[in-house]
Amino acid sequence: MSDALLALLSGSVGSLAAWEATLRETTPLLITGLAVALAFRGGVWNIGAEGQLLAGALCATIVATRWCVDAPAWLLVPAVALAGAFGGALFGGIAGGLRAARGVSEVISTILLNFVAGSLVALAIQGPLQEAARAYPKSDPFPAAALLPSLGRVHVGLLVALALVWLAHVLVFRTAFGFRLRAVGLAPKAARFAGISPERIALTTLVLSGALAGLAGAFEVAGVTGQLYAGLSAGTGYTAIAVALLARLQPLWVIPSALLFGALEAGAAAMQREAGVPAVVTQIVQGAVILLAVGVSIGRRRARPRLDRASAEAG
Amino acid sequence: MLDDVSLDVASGEVLALLGENGAGKSTLMNVLCGLVKPDAGVLELGGERIDLAQWGPRAALAHAVGMVHQHSALVPALTVAENLRFGDPQAGLWFHPRAEQRAAEALSRRFGLEVPVGRRVEDLSPGQRQRAEILRALGRGARLLILDEPTAVLTPNEASALFSAVRRLCEAGRAVIFISHKLSEVEAVADRVTILRRGRVVASLAVRDLAARELGRLMLGRDLPPLARRAPPAPRSGEPALALQGLSTSGASEASRLRGLALEVFAGEIVGLVGIDGNGQRELEEVLAGVRRPSAGEVRVAGRRVALQPRALRRAGLAHLSGDRESAGLVRGMSLAQNFILKGSWDDRRFFRHGRIDQAAARRATQAAAQRFGIVPPDPDLDIALLSGGNAQKLAVARELDGEPAVLVAVNPTRGLDVGSARFVHEQLLARSAAGGAVLLLSTELDEVLALADRLLALVRGELREIEAGADRAAIGALLLGAGAG
């Protein structure tokens, strides 16, 4: 048991290589966690970060391996990133449009769109996007100009992610849009009477949230794997929900939260390698962390002081 | 919240419990029916001393204490007879529809409470629903019946029917505790009255021994001067400030559909619109707030047709004030300042510039409003959920009056407020109209409309009926009920 914990620790924070592994796992969790936190703030239950991430990765791959293969790096890297954001935004937008036009619950539609995105990726890598050799179900490797610049094994996406965290913080707490978003998330009916349309906020939020998740997908293919294959994400978009909840939907708190889950992911691999403990054990740990986080937040809500009664008595 | 309170009620007697919001009435009653455990005290029922450590909802039921809450606790989809059985601890495993119905009818006859026991609760009028609630408490063998502000949802006629039912219960040897904050009701129904203020009993005496004015002073702890009426509005001239033409909508039910409403409100005038819930009030409010699209008709503000969207209406100078927190546009979880600027997120340059919020300006404006309107506590960063209903409502009033709107639509603006806060809101409405605003007052409180309005209209089954000046309460009640809520 102690062997396993030791492996988990040394594999996540015990060495420079371990830190690199942790930060690499953290980057997509940071961006998708942010995507989920943003959506949940607006009362939009986006369970589709996984699908939006895959859609983003798919679009990024199309741009990098089919459309702009010969473009120079200064053009191709931003194009890949934009394509990723576009793919995610498209998938988020479908769910948002369905809700605005037909009242379809985004919980249902985003979950179903996860399957659609997964199947589209599988279809693409066995068909139009399959590698030239046609041996394995995966895409061609990205041209060198499409790969994200990196320091050691940590790519530049981490810096972008941190910048996005700050931007999201400003968006939520300092802008009129963030103000409306929070109002809708807290009291959709009151917001409607105040002239804020919950449907329109939901659509915008899902597009934004999807764009973020899609960007994370583009960063994964262009920064880590260098090609598209079926097991690309392995549940990042679901872990993102845990990241967002543990951060209590505060953009800035997504940083430590993503780091924790990133370390768990990186450590899990090491634990499996060195102590022979199956990686699913860390999933159990992750689950426990989420339950704890949710339990604590509910407990705090209960414990909130009931000032209204006290002041009513006094007044 | 309660401090050394003593209370007694005899069989065959109606005790009225009076007090402001937050005076401790509900807490006291929750102690009686076992929902709240007191720190200290003694309870005796029918001469039997009861161990308060053992006291709880089940014990209260076993000792024949029955409570009828303000908000209906009946299951809407079940019939009255089924509701009487639902949750009855003495009920067995089986249900015999016909036997239950016969039992319910017998109970209804025995106490003279007329209820269609075979009908589903959702199809009943508020008055019938309340009688069904009382019947259920009696069916459980209640000998002490607690009625928590039972007239809040009733028309005057339904209320007087309730009073005679309560008298009959007393003749049958039941004891009744009647919670209210209306003096007229207490005089109509109670034998004795106990007045609470800030968790203490300030007086306990026979009703015939005191005058209404004295009651008010005891409740508030100060004299409430009569509402100062302003001068009658100047003769109408020119365009009406607010005009509805041929307004029709779909509705939650057939009765609440608006049917070609036409109405004009002039500057400086308060037009009162009375009606029972479910006759189109909600629909009219939603149209005027811009959240429901009418199927036909239009709304004009100062002669100009306005798009029925919240932002367009606001820009045209129409403000909407509601007693329902959500319709009022108050967001729990946001601070006072954020609630104060909530409706301006699109176009209010004082608080929103280039898409950014000016927090400091919002705080300053909120603080100023809090001071002017006496909001307690006047902390702009406090979550509005932590304020009492009256203070939250004051913030809504402050926000709506902030832009000195040409038209103010006030819907049940004092619902749930205590006498002091309600008086404050009334004064603000009068002040707005005195300053040249047009006020449309929609309310289920007849007293409120009678006290404030220059002109009275009734909304009955989605249509407007004129009420003649000087019509008495009974006549208005008959008009409201005539076309029936049933």
Q: Of A195-209, B4-18, B410-424, B466-480, which range is least confident?
A: B466-480
* Subunit contact B346:A191, Cβ cutoff 8 A: no
Q: Which of the residue ranges A105-119, B34-48, B164-178 would you say has the lowest mean pLDDT?
A: B34-48
Out of B130-139, B214-223, B290-299, give the one with best mean pLDDT. Answer: B290-299
Q: Which of A193, A313, A315 has the CB atom closest to B310's CB atom? A: A193
d(CA B411, CA B188): 28
Quick one: angle between helices B389-402 and B359-373, nearest 10? 110
Kindly report whether the peptide bond that precedes residue B226 is cis, defined as omega within 30 degrees of 0: no
Arithmetic mean of pLDDT, B109-138: 82
Q: Are B432 and B400 in contact (CB under 8 A)?
A: no
Contact A187 B198 (CB under 8 A): no
- pLDDT 10s digits, B310-335: 989 998 999 999 877 667 788 988 99
Instruction: Collapse the DSSP code of B7 into the 3-class scheme (helix H, G, I; strand E, B; otherwise coil) and give the result.
Output: coil
Share of chain A above pLDDT 90, in %: 47
Tell me which residue of A37, A51, A47, A50 sits closest to A106, measured CA to CA: A47
Q: Do A176 and B357 touch (CB under 8 A)?
A: yes
- Chain A residues within 8 angstroms (CB to CB) of chain B: 174-177, 179-180, 182-183, 186-187, 189-196, 305-309, 311-315
From chain B, pick out residues whose CB is under 8 angstroms from the CB of A311: 376-377, 386-388, 391
Interface A-B, measured as beta-carbon pairs within 8 A, has a size of 107
Question: CB distance from B289 to chain A under 8 Å?
Answer: yes
Over the range A108-131, which residues count as b (16 or more CB within 10 Å of their CB) and which as e?
A: ebbbbbbebbbebbeebbeeebbb
Nearest to B199 among A182, A307, A313 (CB): A313
Residue of A nearest to B197 (CA): A313
| Yes or no, beta carbons of B22 and A313 under 8 Å apart | yes
A166-173: long-range pairs with CB below 8 Å, 24+:
A166/A251, A166/A252, A168/A34, A168/A37, A168/A38, A168/A251, A169/A251, A169/A252, A171/A38, A172/A38, A172/A41, A172/A251
Considering A23-27, B50-54, B124-128, B322-326, the range whose residues carry the highest mean pLDDT is A23-27
Q: Which member of B309, B355, B376 has the closest CB to residue A175?
A: B355
Tell me: pLDDT of B223 over 70: no
| Rounded alpha-carbon distances, angstroms, from residue B303 to B239, B245, B266, B290, B311 | 6, 11, 11, 18, 18
- Token pair, residue B207, equals 């009703």
What does chain A look like in DSSP terms, one character per residue?
-HHHHHHHHHHHHSSHHHHHHHHHHHHHHHHHHHHHHHHHHTT-----HHHHHHHHHHHHHHIIIIISTT--HHHHHHHHHHHHHHHHHHHHHHHHHHHHHH---HHHHHHHHHHHHHHHHHHHHHTTTB-TT--SSBBPPPPGGGSPPEETTEETHHHHHHHHHHHHHHHHHHBHHHHHHHHHHH-HHHHHHTT--HHHHHHHHHHHHHHHHHHHHHHIIIIIISS-BTTSSTTHHHHHHHHHHHTTT-GGGHHHHHHHHHHHHHHHHHHHHHH---THHHHHHHHHHHHHHHHHHHHHHHTS--HHHHHHHH-
Nearest to A193 among B329, B355, B389 (CB): B329
**Mean pLDDT value across chain A:** 86
pLDDT confidence bin for A313, thresholds 50/70/90? very low
| pLDDT, average across residues A107-130 | 91
**pLDDT higher than threshold 70 for residue B229:** no
Give yes or no for B279 touching A (CB within 8 A).
Answer: no
- For residue B357, the surrounding DSSP H or E stretch is strand B356-357
User: What is the edge-to-edge ordering of all strands in the sheet holding B304-305?
Assistant: B261-265, B242-248, B296-301, B304-305
Contact B388 A175 (CB under 8 A): no
Q: Shortest CB distance from A179 goes to which of B1, B198, B357?
A: B357
Structure token digits, residue A289:
């962390």
Residue B187 has pLDDT above 70, yes or no: yes
Percent helix, percent strand, percent coil in chain B, to nearest 5: 35, 20, 45
**A chain contacts of residue B310, beta-carbon cutoff 8 Å:** 192-195
Q: Would you tell me which residues 169-228 of chain B have a C-beta closer than 8 angstroms to some C-beta of chain A?
A: 198-199
Q: Can you give the pLDDT at residue B221?
A: 66
Q: How confident is the model at residue B482 (pLDDT cuts 50, 70, 90)?
A: low
Q: Find which of A57-61, B106-110, B385-389 is predicted with most confidence, using mean pLDDT.
A: A57-61
Tell me if B158 sits within 8 A of B181, measured CB to CB: no
Please tell me the distance in Å from A230's CA to the nearest CA on chain B: 41
B60 pLDDT above the threshold of 50:
yes
**Helices and strands counted in chain B (H then E):** 16, 20
Amino acid at B93: L
Nearest CA in chain A to B343: A194
The rounded distance, in Å, linking the Cα atoms of A62 and A69 is 9
Amino acid at A130: Q
Ramachandran angles phi, psi of B97, nearest 5°: -50, -45
Across residues B214-226, what is the average pLDDT? 66
For the stretch B64-90, pLDDT in tens is 888 887 667 788 888 888 888 876 666
Interface contact flag, B345 A175, Cβ < 8 Å: no
- d(CA B241, CA B233) in angstroms, rounded, equals 14
Bridge partner list, B265? B242
| Secondary structure class of B82 (helix, strand, coil) | helix
The pTM (predicted TM-score) of the whole model is 0.77
8 Å CB contact of B357 and A186: no
Shortest Cα–Cα distance, B300 to chain A (Å): 19
Tokens of B4: 């050394």
Q: Which residues pair with B245 in a beta bridge?
A: B298
Q: Which residues contact A161 (CB under 8 A, 6 or more apart)?
A: A27, A30, A31, A34, A216, A219
Q: Please tell me which residue, A256 or B124, carries the higher pLDDT value.
A: A256
The ipTM value here is 0.81
- Check whether B219 has a pLDDT greater than 90: no
| Model confidence pLDDT, tens digit, residues A160-187 | 999 999 999 999 999 999 999 999 999 9
Compute the nearest-CA separation of B72 from chain A (Å).
23
